[in-house]
Amino acid sequence: MVGAGIGGLTLAVALRKVGVDAEIYERASELRAAGSGLSVMTNALTALDSLGIDLGLDKRGQAVTSFTMKTARGRLIKEEPLVKVADEIGVPCVCLSRTDLQHALLDALGDTPITLGATATGVETDDSGAVVHFADGTSARGDVVVGADGFNSVVRRQFTGPDEPAEDSGYISWLGIVPFTHRRLPPGAVAHYWGKGSGFGLIDIGHGRFYWWGTKNMPEQRSHNWPGGKDEVLRAYSGWAEEVREVIQATPEEDIIGVPSRDRAFLESWGEGPVTLLGDAAHPMLTCIGQGAAMAMEDAVVLARTLRGATDLSGALRTYEDLRRERTRMMVVASREVSDRWHMESRIGRLRRNTALRLARHADLMAVQRAALVFPDPDAA
Q: Which domains, and CATH codes, for the chain?
A: 6-165+264-380 (3.50.50.60)
DSSP codes, 124-159: EEETTEEEEEETTS-EEEESSEEE---TT-HHHHHH
Query: According to the 3-state scheme, what is the secondary structure of 259-328?
Result: EEEEECCCCCCCCECCEEECHHHCCCCCCCCCCHHHHHHHHHHHHHHHHCCCCCHHHHHHHHHHHHHHHH
Rounded mean pLDDT, 83-91: 98
Determine the pLDDT at residue 33. Answer: 74
Phi-psi region of 322 (alpha: psi -120 to 50; beta: other; left: phi over 0): alpha
Q: What is the pLDDT of residues 257-295, one digit of tens each?
A: 999 999 999 999 999 999 999 999 999 999 999 999 999
Specify whether the CB–CB gap between 148 and 281 falls below 8 A: yes
Determine the pLDDT at residue 32. Answer: 83
pLDDT > 90? residue 380:
no
Rounded mean pLDDT, 208-237: 96
Q: How confident is the model at residue 68 (pLDDT cuts 50, 70, 90)?
A: very high
| Nearest CA among 241, 237, 244, 235 for reference residue 180 | 244
CA distance 48 to 346: 42
pLDDT > 90? residue 73:
yes
Rounded mean pLDDT, 101-123: 96
Specify whether the CB–CB gap between 279 and 155 falls below 8 A: no
Determine the pLDDT at residue 246. Answer: 98
Residue scoring higher pLDDT (176 or 378):
176
CA distance 62 to 94: 5
Q: What is the pLDDT of residues 291-310, one digit of tens each?
A: 999 999 999 999 999 999 99
* % of the chain surpassing 70 pLDDT: 99
Determine the pLDDT at residue 379. Answer: 79
Average predicted confidence (pLDDT) for the chain: 96
Rounded mean pLDDT, 216-238: 96
Alpha-carbon separation of residue 19 from 186, 304, 307, 368 (angstroms): 43, 9, 10, 36
| Residue 166 DSSP one-character state | P
Q: What is the pLDDT of residues 10-50, one digit of tens each?
A: 999 999 999 999 999 999 999 887 779 999 999 999 999 99
Q: How confident is the model at residue 94 (pLDDT cuts 50, 70, 90)?
A: very high
Determine the pLDDT at residue 176. Answer: 97
pLDDT > 80? residue 64:
yes
Determine the pLDDT at residue 143. Answer: 97
Sign of torsion over alpha carbons 188, 97, 87, 325: positive
pLDDT > 80? residue 381:
no
